Amino acid sequence: MYKILTALGLALLCSNATAVSMYQWTDDRGGLQFGQQPPADRPYRIVDITTPPPPGGTLRERQPLPPIEAKGTQAPEERAAARAEKAELQRHCEQLNKNLETLVNNPRLTRTNASGEVERIGEDERQKMIADTRGEIDNRCD
């Protein structure tokens, strides 16, 4: 059994050496012929037998993976501060969405000025407030 496996292994290794070149020529009837030995009596050309590219094109080179950040690199205080900042941003975004809903759904809005008088907000100012609120939501909220 060991002799058979050794013989098969050597045969496989030698098979690459035997098919190094392929030749192409035209026979007497005008047909293309291929072989591993060139013909002696007619012109021939060497055929490139390299492996074709995969379907869909060539493969790109493998890129190195980005470094993995070690867990726990931040101090507990920094993580707590980041969580608090994220929660504050979430509350601010919720308030912005409520304000936008009020501005869009109520065309007759009023506000109290510095002197304590109630004044009506005009349509142009309301549209500007809607655009500003949407812009802030787009910039700060997901």
User: How far apart are alpha carbons 119 and 93 in whole angstroms?
Assistant: 27
Q: Where do the domains of the chain lie? A: 20-49, 77-140
User: For each of the chain's 142 residues, which pLDDT tens digit applies?
Assistant: 778 878 777 776 665 555 568 889 998 898 989 888 888 888 999 888 777 777 777 777 778 888 776 665 667 888 888 899 999 999 999 999 999 998 898 888 888 888 888 898 888 998 999 999 999 999 988 7
Question: What phi, psi does 106 have (nearest 5°)?
Answer: -120, 100
Model-level pTM? Answer: 0.44
Q: What share of the chain is helix, strand, coil (3-state, %, to 5)?
A: 45, 15, 40
